[in-house]
A and B are shown apart, each in its own frame.
Chain A
Amino acid sequence: GAVVSQHPSRVICKSGTSVKIECRSLDFQATTMFWYRQFPKKSLMLMATSNEGSKATYEQGVEKDKFLINHASLTLSTLTVTSAHPEDSSFYICSARVRVAENIQYFGAGTRLSVL
């Protein structure tokens, strides 16, 4: 099946610093990638939809300037958490869709962000 690689798997940073998370589709081209946030014992919440070559579409309540998303190529999307604070600590997961008609998303293994 389609493989999505997410890096790093875990990151610890100081408050006020920025952290970049990469999401790569390894064996397919993904015109659309999705970024989710998962809180402990809670569901995945969609943060934004990232389309290659255009600006990301953010869900209501998600700060665009806090969570910068770039989808520069058909195989790479990045999420940058800017000026991270402890409340940004969470599990971030990306996914990629192969074809619109198929409507199946392939997920990365997630990134555990801890902000001290």
Chain B
Amino acid sequence: GNSVTQMEGPVTLSEEAFLTINCTYTATGYPSLFWYVQYPGEGLQLLLKATKADDKGSNKGFEATYRKETTSFHLEKGSVQVSDSAVYFCALSGPYMEYGNKLVFGAGTILRVKS
């Protein structure tokens, strides 16, 4: 079945450092890929998504590219801020005929940014 593996945290960085959070997946066909972020005390929010191979999702300075050949969707940001401290979840969905719109999540990666 579908599954998502993401790097364990916590990841601790200084402000303005470069961020990479690795995410790889196992799925049949061509799933849609997502990154969700959960700030303390809040619900998960969609950060970015990509629906086909080589698509790049981007939002708030974060980027991730759908790599079919390596089954990866790594999250990157060039310069993190303290306000980026949160838990980041990689997720996939699909294919629709087999799985509907169900989301399968990775375990989440805690990011801590120090000033």
Contacts and interface: CB of A to CB of B under 8 A. Distances in A.
Contacts of A54: none
B49 interface: yes
A57 B15 CA distance: 44
Nearest to A5: B43
Interface residues of B, number: 23
A34 B43 CA distance: 13
B44 A46 contact: no
A105 B105 CA distance: 13
B43 A4 contact: yes
Contact of A44 (B42, B49, B89, B100): B89
Nearest to B108: A43
Contacts, number: 50
A93 B96 CA distance: 22
A107 B45 contact: yes
Given A43-B89, A44-B89, A105 B43 contact: no
B107 interface: yes
B60 to A, nearest CB: 13
Interface of B: 4, 32, 36, 41-46, 49, 89, 93-94, 96, 100-108
17 contacts: A34-B103, A41-B107, A42-B107, A43-B4, A43-B89, A43-B106, A46-B103, A49-B100, A49-B102, A95-B43, A95-B44, A100-B101, A104-B46, A104-B49, A107-B43, A107-B44, A109-B42
Interface of A: 1, 4, 6, 32, 34, 41-44, 46, 49, 93, 95, 97, 100, 103-110
